[in-house]
Structure 1
């Protein structure tokens, strides 16, 4: 039960780290309390967002802030009891979201985003998961000309700065490509270089299976038992390793705090539900209803409806009021049938106040490494994070500059 490295967390990021370390000749144990891909990586819209060079910022205009403060918005809700604890984080998030600071963050963030599609495609090919991949991009659809014009101006800037590829669809073309969508929509914007996945859980499972084919081992265990230098309890017994990687998503700060780290990590929670379709309706690609704040995506199980963000304590009871509020609107946009899940799924996105992940060595312990805080882009950035961290751990030339993602920036 001795390994070179133990990776804690078997979501997209942790599995990707484990794969890249195993590829580089290390013996790796991957430990989680559940099978791979059954927490945060289970429920998302399945996007690999090549256009996502600007991470999601906190709104700064007074009108939007007032709308969110009323706690009746469809795209963002919060638990009032959680606010006293969250306010310091939200203030720092608001601070970093100022336009000039956000632009500086994008310059660093884009160095990861530019590799997201190519790194996923490499692992998809290696793991034999091509059937899960959908190429050709995804759509933002618009209900007003004002919003459409604003989004087009923004993506034109992204295209000039970072080579984001896109195309604008007028109402007629949108109806040709997605005839089942409401004819009330005025048009759409497609991010053509992005990919999407028909089953994110199945993709993580495929990567995990590839990791085992490379010689890696997966264990059910308790990350909270991690002790320097480095051991952890599993159902198969105690594991010892020369190094450890914390890739536990929204629970990473719980483990790191036990070791003396105080990191500003918060969560954005979200919900999804699967639906059948009616009257032969078909959805060909993921669609974001931009002005309402939900997404519908064709998945292996059915049409997945995903909500916006809920600000709450990580493990607070589920309150899927957003899902209930947007479902009638989504039904008017696309002919959804019956609910297919017993209950709404709840997931948690780990967020830092400067919108960038933490990737690199810890500072208080030797051979302790961090890979978490990817917020909305955990699926998108999993493989490039795995490659970057693995290159750092084995002393290879890193694919991107790791300095912006260091833990001691806080």
Structure 2
């Protein structure tokens, strides 16, 4: 089975890259051990985050660091032993979160953020997946006047990004989302972010894009990416059914599992994972939630999904191999139930996902420096769903010799040498 390109990984990033390459005339084989969208792409908050123009930085305020050191927060949790293991990575993350470097990271990634909605819109239309996406934006709710006032002040700093945002008083927020009026929390107000879009079934969206890929001539094969090898100028991989797959180019888009391949070929890219959990709950009786609600203080999102209300957690620093736990989710749920009278949980145990993250808060997109035809597209951290189609376009333009729509230099693998 010979093709022009092997794309390793059938999450939102890999499927998007495969579609863009197919659109540019390349024959593409997509490979994964499981079905499309069944890994990390399944468990996100469903936000196509056009408004998230500033990367998620490491806190530098000593008061925030002191709070997190107690390890009692719902937005960040850590395993002490794991923190010691990844301390050098965290230090690099902290350095890159300094104001000047953070501003540069925001400028570097901005073209991808700005293209995110348009690139999704185009794929949604082609895939006939409009029923999975809402153009209502999402709402940040504030439980204190102090945080609400601070957020409004920060809006002025974001004005240069031309974001469409509406400030909601408490009464306006309850009029837009009556379900919140039934909670016990004291809500000061909210911000309605109108540029982003929300997805009711992230896994379903990836599967819709994958179906479009197959319809337009792409091939999907189950196989183990760790078997990728170079034979002369050809990239070869073994399919699960014993077939031998080959191509002149290969793309590593395996998200948190990308190290299985790049380390095999001698690359020491500083990829770590931020764990995240979610659980679904029954919609509140009488007043169903219509918008995704972000609580920045507690670090969770309440997102209306096909399966129910999905409660997603913030960041957990723990071993990728450790089992899912309910500690952080239970902390978030206690606050969420004050905002919204959630129904009973619909799963017995929480779902666990791994966000692939690099310490400079930017993905790796580009050709491997020492291996012709080997390309990387991973490390999107919190923004895999948002940036998948945009980064897939940038990658495909680079691979086919087209003029890239964004400067690819900030994402090159060589930046870590």
Partner of 2:175: 176
Map 1:186-201 → 2, pairs under 5 A? 186-201=188-203
Map 1:232-381 → 2, pairs under 5 A? 232-236=237-241, 237-381=243-387
Partner of 1:208: 210
Task: Give the TM-score normalised by structure 2.
Answer: 0.96
Distance in 1 (alpha carbons) for counterparts of 2:114 and 2:105: 14
Distance in 2 (alpha carbons) for counterparts of 1:24 and 1:343: 43
Distance in 2 (alpha carbons) for counterparts of 1:277 and 1:53: 31
Map 1:3-402 → 2, pairs under 5 A? 3-159=3-159, 161-181=160-180, 182=183, 184-228=186-230, 229-236=234-241, 237-402=243-408
Superposed displacement of residue 67, structure 1 = 1.2
What do the CA deviations read for 1:114-165 (whole angstroms, capped 9, x no partner)?
A: 0000000000000000000100210110011111121122222112x22122
Distance in 2 (alpha carbons) for counterparts of 1:404 and 1:204: 27
Superposed displacement of residue 70, structure 1 = 1.5
Task: Give the TM-score normalised by structure 1.
Answer: 0.98
- Helix, strand or coil: the match of 1:284? coil
Distance in 2 (alpha carbons) for counterparts of 1:6 and 1:130: 29
Superposed displacement of residue 82, structure 1 = 0.9
Report if the CA contact (8 A) 1:281-1:335 is conserved.
no
Distance in 2 (alpha carbons) for counterparts of 1:313 and 1:407: 24
- Helix, strand or coil: the match of 1:150? helix
Distance in 2 (alpha carbons) for counterparts of 1:9 and 1:320: 28
Stretch moving more, 371-380 or 226-235: 226-235
Distance in 2 (alpha carbons) for counterparts of 1:143 and 1:304: 20
- Helix, strand or coil: the match of 1:337? coil
- Helix, strand or coil: the match of 1:339? coil
What do the CA deviations read for 1:264-313 (whole angstroms, capped 9, x no partner)?
A: 11110000000112422311110011211111000011000001110012
Unaligned runs of 5+ in 1: none
What do the CA deviations read for 1:242-280 (whole angstroms, capped 9, x no partner)?
A: 100000001112210011000011110000000112422
Unaligned runs of 5+ in 2: none
Report if the CA contact (8 A) 1:155-1:164 is conserved.
no
Distance in 1 (alpha carbons) for counterparts of 2:260 and 2:50: 31
Report if the CA contact (8 A) 2:144-2:186 is conserved.
no
Distance in 1 (alpha carbons) for counterparts of 2:334 and 2:51: 29
Q: Between Structure 1 and Structure 2, how many residues are aligned? A: 409
Superposed displacement of residue 215, structure 1 = 0.3
- Helix, strand or coil: the match of 2:206? helix
